[in-house]
Structure formats: structure tokens, C-alpha cells
Amino acid sequence: MPANLKMRDLIAGNADLVIEDEMPTTLRAFCARVASYEVFLSSEHTPSDIPRARLIGHPGSEYVAYVRRSFQTLKMRQDRLLKLTTENRP
């Protein structure tokens, strides 16, 4: 859960880096999953109750593919901008 919380916080804290105009469904689904686990774990349930709980599922490979694809796109844009700024220096 600590890694999931960190990823959720990174998504929320860096929403300005999201390429799309709105938060993508796969990122919202991941954050919703983390929130459902937070609520579950803050109650009197124990981790052994998880199989019987109705928690929001992980978006799976769609989430992983989105993160990889968008990171690559951002890095390409960053490289392009850096080249423009270094080319225009006297």
C-alpha cells in the first residue's frame, strides 16, 4: 500500500504534466482503487478480509501502458524544447 499511496500522490501532485485536457480514465481508476483500499484499511477490517471485500480493481495493463506512453511523450517534448533553447543561445 505505501507504493500505491506514493503513486497516487505523484499523480495528483503532478496533474499539470498530464498531456490530455482531462484526467485520463485509467489514472482516475488507479486513484479510486487506492482510495477504496484506504477506506477499507482504515476500518476494523484486516488484510485477510480483502478477498471478500468489494474493492475497486486495478486498471491493469492499461494503466501501465498509459504511464509508459505518456512518460515517453513528455520526455520527447522535453528533449525538443531543450534543443530549441540550446540552439537559440548565442
Cα–Cα distance, 30 to 7 (Å, whole number):
9
In the chain, count of helices (H) and strands (E)?
A: 3, 0
**pTM of the predicted structure, to 2 decimals:** 0.77
**What is the Cα–Cα distance from 75 to 57, expressed in whole angstroms?**
29
Tens of each residue's pLDDT in the chain, 90 residues: 889 999 999 999 989 889 899 999 999 999 999 998 888 888 877 777 776 677 888 999 999 999 999 999 999 999 999 988 887 666
62 closest CA partner among 28, 19, 21: 28
